[in-house]
Structure 1
């Protein structure tokens, strides 16, 4: 019986090395894909927002979610829900663009809920209220069935 091999990183941890498309879907090995975001990068909040906005504008919300995930994991405890909420918005947009309208709407609403405690403060210039409104409106639209264009629906992260 052939042994199933798992891709591993330099430390031996499981790490899927399959190429991915712009929405993060795995492609067959050997197929050209979109460059992946490096994991575990520690950025300033400003750098995080600039990189995530660039990726969102390019129609790559899956990759923006990975940038937010790094901030969520490396940032101060009192901001973790902020970055987690932004990651959920990005992955909600990803699922909506992939055609998973139920999951996309659910994640958009969950992300907006995670941002709610920050609505009055606009940390790092993040347009929390505008993002929450955007997420709710997009969730309502995708629940009715249409797949969305990720680049056309990219939100503005900062005011």
Structure 2
């Protein structure tokens, strides 16, 4: 598996070592592309299979550091590699992280929409499975956090600080 940074530019598109389209441009902490040659934030490796609790811990570290785009990559790996019955859980978590990313970038409408979509996915998954605390995550609290943040960014019309606004996956949400 080639990393995006190890890729090569072919024509107008970057490709990884296997020829798949990849954007090799450096990124900032919120995943926004920077000009070629600029030093960016290290990208989260893709396709990593982690134990579920490891995914939660790594994602929380990234959220706490104000890097929800990168936390989304961790959740996406879990969504794609985990058991079928947990895919909606991890997808909902990825949507929360992307929603926070968009809200921090100033995309109020997209951020609020993804936060609500993720909250709905978590609530639906918890209801369908009867599991409100998978891997010690507080799905009720995360759902409330996401809906509250969506309401706040729409009401205020301003972006949020990704680190200060990060949720607590296993407990009381951030203010």
**Higher relative contact order structure (alpha carbons within 8 Å, sequence separation ≥ 6):** 1
| Secondary structure of 2:87's aligned partner | helix
Deviation at 1:118, TM superposition (A): 1.3
Deviation at 1:10, TM superposition (A): 1.5
Deviation at 1:146, TM superposition (A): 1.6
What corresponds to 2:126 in structure 1? 118
- Aligned residue runs from structure 1 range 55-66, under 5 A: 55-66=62-73
So what's the TM-score if we normalise by structure 1? 0.96
Q: Does 1:30 align with 2:37?
A: yes
What corresponds to 2:3 in structure 1? none
- Aligned residue runs from structure 1 range 35-74, under 5 A: 35-74=42-81
Q: Does 1:131 align with 2:142?
A: yes
Q: Does 1:157 align with 2:169?
A: yes
- Cα distance in 1 for partners of 2:29, 2:65 equals 9
Q: Which runs of 5+ in 1 are unaligned?
A: none
- Cα distance in 2 for partners of 1:124, 1:58 equals 21
Q: Which runs of 5+ in 2 are unaligned?
A: 1-9
Deviation at 1:136, TM superposition (A): 0.5
Q: Does 1:100 align with 2:72?
A: no
Of 20, 35, 39, the residue aligned with 1:13 is: 20
So what's the TM-score if we normalise by structure 2? 0.87
RMSD, aligned CA: 1.1
Deviation at 1:148, TM superposition (A): 0.4
Deviation at 1:132, TM superposition (A): 0.1
Q: How many residues align?
A: 157
| Secondary structure of 1:7's aligned partner | strand
- Aligned residue runs from structure 1 range 70-89, under 5 A: 70-89=77-96
- Cα distance in 2 for partners of 1:123, 1:149 equals 27
Moved segments of 4+, more than 3 Å: none
